[in-house]
Structure 1
Amino acid sequence: MILPILSYPDPRLKQQSSEVEVFDEELHALLGNMYETMLDREGVGLAGIQVNVPKRILIINIPREDKTQHKEDLLEIINPVITKKEGEIYFTEGCLSVPNFYEDVLRYDEVEISYQDRFGSPKTLHTQGYLAVAIQHEMDHLNGVLFVDRLSLMKRKKFEKEFKREQRSKGKR
């Protein structure tokens, strides 16, 4: 089932997400619906809060070199914690909750996380580059942070100006 995605400036996106404690069929159904929603919106990641579920849940499916996404590459990450971080990388980010806006964001180039899978089993993942950036972006959502919150003052003002212009043009239709 395709779920509605909260859009900036919805205040619910600023909520802190709580830990997942029950790993049941309801959680599995939510993960499936999040995956369908992410693919429908042509995203590479989605956090629970973006579909109005303030739980520490995120999914990521990085496209392969041919730009296709494969279900076997899907990461379902629950209750993630960054355990190591190294290096820096600027990466152009976008967000399903902030449509049609892209900007370079400074992130760690390498991260290691501990998390749980859909069954509650503990996992560890060490990654770098695009996947590391995607994990940090989605983990920010769990803490009520959007990528535009990480922009410099000048870039943030540019975003606000573009956002207001887009809102005005939508109002004229």
Structure 2
Amino acid sequence: MPRVFVQGVPAGYHPRHTPEAGLGAVRRITEVGEEVLHKPCRDVTEFGPDLAALIHDMFRTLYVAEGAGLAANQVGVDMRLFVYDCLDDEGIRHVGHVVNPVLETPPAGRRLLVEGEGCLSVPGAVMDVPRPERAVVRGQDKDGNPLLVEGTGYFARCLAHETDHTQGHVYLDRLSKREKRDALRQMAARRDEVYARRAVMAGELRALRPWGQPSSGR
């Protein structure tokens, strides 16, 4: 069985950091409470170099934050788009991006998995959130071509979580008031530690170049 899927297609090899990250710049990650995170994003209607450049930036920002997925509104851009680099429960890696994602409604009676979930825009907090064990997302790639991505387990959780972002929802919206207060307390206690770690990662990735290869230093 392939150990990596890129844009939903099996691949024989993919570098540790996807090549797009070497072309991008780190952007600030928005935090819960900022307006851009709490309203539906606009559809992407223009495909071209500007969209590709945003995807490059998002991948680099994702790696600095050591995340599994990142939506455009998490870097302050009001667009229906997310990137991902995520392992499923079988250890298979999934890498790619989805423009204008639509999450298929799971069949009635589909089993929910209740597991810990975090968010780069709620730094330091992890809470149990029920999600379907399987997810199917339809959308487009950066060139406007139709795209379908399927996932199970943790990768399904990632797909659902990131599609939620494009609709203006954060995972805190799925919690009770008491649970949400608990998550915000976790964030307050751990936020500085998270940002310190991101600063370290930004330094470690500074030498990243196109094609996922580090600079030789020359």
Q: Where on the TM-score scale, by shorter chain, does this alignment land: which range?
A: 0.7 to 0.9
Give every structure 1 segment of 4 or more consecutive aligned residues whose post-TM-superposition deviation is greater than 3 Å. 160-167
> What is the aligned partner in structure 1 of residue 62 from structure 2?
38
Matched length = 163
> What is the aligned partner in structure 2 of residue 158 from structure 1?
182
Preserved CA contact (<8 Å) 2:88 2:154: no
1:127 deviation in Å? Answer: 1.9
Q: Tell me the secondary structure at the aligned position of residue 104 of structure 2.
A: strand
Matching of residue 29 in structure 1 with residue 53 in structure 2: yes
Mapping for residues 10-159 of structure 1, pairs under 5 Å: 10-63=34-87, 73-85=94-106, 86-159=110-183
Preserved CA contact (<8 Å) 1:113 1:125: yes
Larger mean Cα displacement after TM superposition, 115-124 or 148-157: 148-157
Query: CA–CA distance in 2 between the matches of 1:128 and 1:145?
Result: 21
State the Cα deviation string for residues 71-115 of structure 1 (Å, max 9, x = none): xx4211111112242321112111111001001101111121211
Counterpart of 2:96, as a letter, is L
Q: Tell me the secondary structure at the aligned position of residue 125 of structure 2.
A: strand
Preserved CA contact (<8 Å) 1:45 1:60: yes
Query: CA–CA distance in 2 between the matches of 1:163 and 1:44?
Result: 18
State the Cα deviation string for residues 112-142 of structure 1 (Å, max 9, x = none): 1211111111022222111110011111111
Query: CA–CA distance in 2 between the matches of 1:156 and 1:128?
Result: 26
Preserved CA contact (<8 Å) 2:124 2:190: no
Query: CA–CA distance in 2 between the matches of 1:12 and 1:82?
Result: 20
Counterpart of 1:136, as a letter, is A
Counterpart of 1:5, as a letter, is I
User: What TM-score do the two structures reach when normalised by structure 1?
Assistant: 0.85
Question: For the structure 1 residues 162 and 113, does the alpha-carbon distance in structure 2 shift closer, same or farther, using more than 3 Å as the test?
Answer: closer
1:162 deviation in Å? Answer: 4.2
**Structure 2: 5+ residue runs without aligned partners?**
1-24, 192-218
Query: CA–CA distance in 1 between the matches of 2:80 and 2:146?
Result: 14
Q: Tell me the secondary structure at the aligned position of residue 93 of structure 1.
A: strand
Preserved CA contact (<8 Å) 2:117 2:126: yes
User: What TM-score do the two structures reach when normalised by structure 2?
Assistant: 0.68
Query: CA–CA distance in 2 between the matches of 1:114 and 1:134?
Result: 14
**Structure 1: 5+ residue runs without aligned partners?**
168-173
Bigger radius of gyration: 2
> What is the aligned partner in structure 2 of residue 171 from structure 1?
none
> What is the aligned partner in structure 2 of residue 170 from structure 1?
none
Query: CA–CA distance in 1 between the matches of 2:190 and 2:128?
Result: 20
